[in-house]
Amino acid sequence: MKESFDIVIVGSGIAGLSTLLYLRDTELYKQGQLSICLITKGNLNETNTHWAQGGIAAVKGVQDHFEKHIADTVNAGGYVNNSFIVEKVIKAAPSLMEDLINWGTEFDKNKEGQFDLAKEGGHSDARIWHKEDQTGKAIQDALMNELKKDIHILIHEHTSLVKVEKLAESVFSLGLFNKKTNSFSNINCGKLVLATGGLGMLYQTTTNQQIATGDGIYFANQLGAEIENLSYIQFHPTGLYEGGQIAYLITEALRGAGAKLLNQNREAFMHKYDARLELAPRDIVSRSIMKEIELQENPYVYLDATHIDKEIINKHFPTIKYECIKRLGLNIENDLIPVIPVQHYACGGIKVNEFGESTIKGLFAIGEVASTGLHGANRLASNSLLEAIAFAKFSIAKLIETNEVKPLINFVLQLPVTKNINRTQVQDYMSQYAGIVKSNQGLIKASELLNELDLQNEIDNEFDYYHFESNIVLQVAKLLIKDAINKKENKGVFYNKDLEG
């Protein structure tokens, strides 16, 4: 592998791939003056992006306005959003949709040939661009196809970032591990873009894929970058209840189309908790479900889509229908769907400025790994794909500002040492003590238990990638608990029953 690049991007979801595409379209790249490399843990499409269902939010149409999207975003976010960033992202959204379309993404249209925009929880208007219930796959596939047009673009699959050091101003040294060949290599770069996605693997049950172990947070923290609001974790109210760690997501759009939540007695209950019923923001719906579960024997509630027009189910939710039949033998046209709230999205992360740059010069964070201020204390549905592509675009001017990579002088990173960390134990502690409802005592307990796990010192004879990742899960969990202990106010997704509000 070439040893030195102007820019290295880590991650191949919407954040990583759109950053790469925007860079490809710069004059500097076209003139051959920008060397870029993208690495990713698994196959190119092993991302959370691939699994996004509902869609991506952008204002279009006559009755919708930027002001309404802005108001919905800050309302969901508990009014602690960065208002400058909210306005910047939401006003850029229509042109970002054009970029996605120009790169080949197809969105559903209605009979009149207009984009068929959907309404989701927390949105006051229909502004969700979607491709059936597989919008993420449509975006991921389109970006990957677009990249194939340039055969010079360097992409390394099955290659994980396992070590990073900042050697000097604008020189990062990276240690990479190739899981297929079991080999370790070193490269360096002037700018490093962490587009590593979420941290769902910290919890027992999540909608996230295996890759979501919080790596970007871990490395940025090691480099001394500021991390903020890690405990603003969004739980999705309707994960399919079936056992196993990765829960299949039943999109919010199904509730948007009229699906109702029912308790074990088949009674609707959302009217007891919020006037917006099933379309209240996710934190409220999740907490309401947990309350109902406390009041009954079953560890899940039902989602009832049986009254929705079959044509709508088959047109807009074909994958959900198929997955429910495949996984549980249920036909959502006739059967109730068992659901529970599950970990879904990290609203906080590596603190970045309006260009996606962290508090460490040259270190960028884009996508779910970043904390941009857009989401505040709770992400509005379908604003995360938007945030990722928005910051990919906003970062470009800074990424190409100066690109002098100093040569690497005799600096070779060694493979990290790994220990046999019990990942399942971390996930159990996190789900028990840092779930939807937290308490002071529970958080202190979690902190003690995680510290104990960290003290275990059974060192592996050789580098073990799974253990390496498990250590990241543990270290990021510790950061999250620390952040939760420091929170003195309940806001958005964060709820500690011992605090006011």
Ligand X SMILES: Cc1cc2nc3c(=O)[nH]c(=O)nc-3n(C[C@H](O)[C@H](O)[C@H](O)COP(=O)(O)OP(=O)(O)OC[C@H]3O[C@@H](n4cnc5c(N)ncnc54)[C@H](O)[C@@H]3O)c2cc1C
- What are the residue numbers of the active site? 282
Q: Which of 347, 388, 390, 399 binds ligand X (CB under 6 A)?
A: 388
Rule CB under 6 A: is residue 15 a binding residue for ligand X?
yes
Question: Is 42 near ligand X (CB under 6 A)?
Answer: yes
The reply on whether position 197 binds ligand X by CB under 6 A is yes
Site membership for ligand X, residue 416 (CB under 6 A): no
Stretch that binds ligand X, among 53-61, 299-307, 401-409, 451-459 (CB under 6 A): 53-61
Is residue 175 near ligand X by the rule CB under 6 A? no
Which whole-number Å values give the CA distances from 333 to 9, 272, 313, in the listed order? 43, 26, 8
Q: Which stretch binds ligand X (CB under 6 A): 85-93, 277-285, 332-340, 367-375?
A: 367-375
| Min CB(239)–ligand X separation in Å | 9
Taking the CB of residue 113, how many other CB atoms lie within 10 A of it? Answer: 7
| Member of 188, 372, 382, 496 binding ligand X (CB under 6 A) | 382
Residue 301 or 386: the one with the smaller Cβ distance to ligand X is: 386
Closest CA to 484 of 429, 450, 442, 449: 442
Using CB under 6 A, pick the residue from 161, 192, 320, 389 that binds ligand X: 161
The answer to the question of residue 203 lying near ligand X (CB under 6 A) is no
Q: How many CB atoms lie within 10 A of CB 298?
A: 14
Which of 19, 35, 40, 490 is close enough to bind ligand X by CB under 6 A?
A: 40
Nearer to ligand X, 81 or 383 (CB): 383
Nearer to ligand X, 134 or 447 (CB): 134
Overall size of the chain counted in residues: 501
Q: Please answer whether residues 219 and 194 qualify as being in contact, where contact means their C-beta atoms are separated by less than 8 angstroms.
A: yes
# of chain residues touching ligand X (CB under 6 A) = 44
Beta bridge partners of 109: 115
Q: How far apart, in Å, are the Cα atoms of 351 and each of 90, 193, 220, 359, 368?
A: 19, 13, 10, 7, 11
The nearest distance, CB 148 to ligand X, in angstroms, is 17
Q: What is the DSSP string of 214-251?
A: -HHHHHHHHTT--EE-TT-EEEEEEEE-SSSSBPPB--
CA atoms within 13 A on the CB side of 325: 9
- Position among 29, 35, 55, 90 found at the interface with ligand X (CB under 6 A): 55
Instruction: Indicate the residue whose CB is closest to ligand X.
Output: 13
What residues contact residue 77 under an 8 Å CB cut-off, 6+ apart? 86, 374, 375, 376, 377, 378, 379, 380, 492
Q: Taking the CB of residue 71, how many other CB atoms lie within 10 A of it?
A: 13
* Contact region with ligand X (CB under 6 A), list: 10-18, 68-76, 107-115, 296-304: 10-18
Which helix H or strand E contains 147, and what residues bound it? helix 135-147
381's tokens: 């549905």
Phi, psi angle pair for 485, to nearest 5°:
-65, -35
Please, is 309 exposed, middle or buried when counting C-beta atoms within 10 Å of its C-beta (0-12, 13-18, 19+)? exposed
Of the residues 81, 82, 188, 208, which one makes contact with ligand X according to CB under 6 A: 208
Task: Name which position in 368, 418, 436, 447 contacts ligand X (CB under 6 A).
Answer: 368
Judged by CB under 6 A, the stretch of 102-110, 195-203, 420-428, 439-447 that binds ligand X is 195-203
Q: CA-to-CA distance for 472 and 463, rounded, in angstroms?
A: 14
Q: Is 104 left (phi over 0), alpha (psi -120 to 50) or beta?
A: left
- Decide: is 52 part of the binding site for ligand X (CB under 6 A): yes
Identified binder of ligand X from the candidate list 77, 121, 122, 136, rule CB under 6 A: 136
The least CB distance from residue 272 to ligand X, in Å, is 27
CB atoms within 10 A of CB 479: 18
Cα–Cα separations (whole angstroms), residue 76 to 60, 279, 310, 382, 481: 20, 12, 31, 12, 23
Q: Interface with ligand X by CB under 6 A: which range of 183-191, 193-201, 428-436, 445-453? A: 193-201
**Least distance (Å) from ligand X to the CB of residue 335?**
21
Q: Check residue 46 for interaction with ligand X (CB under 6 A).
A: yes
Q: Looking at 19, 35, 48, 229, which residue binds ligand X (CB under 6 A)?
A: 48
Asked if residue 16 binds ligand X (CB under 6 A), the reply is: yes
Q: Which of residues 237-256 bind ligand X (CB under 6 A)?
A: 249
Nearest approach, Cβ of 307 to ligand X (angstroms)?
A: 23
Q: Cα–Cα distance between 188 and 407 in angstroms, integer?
A: 8
Asked if 215 interacts with ligand X (CB under 6 A), we say yes
The 294-333 site mask, x for binding ligand X (CB under 6 A), equals: ----------------------------------------
Instruction: Enumerate binding residues for ligand X (CB under 6 A).
Output: 10-16, 39-42, 46-49, 51-56, 135-136, 160-161, 195-198, 207-208, 211-212, 215, 249, 345, 367-369, 382-385, 388
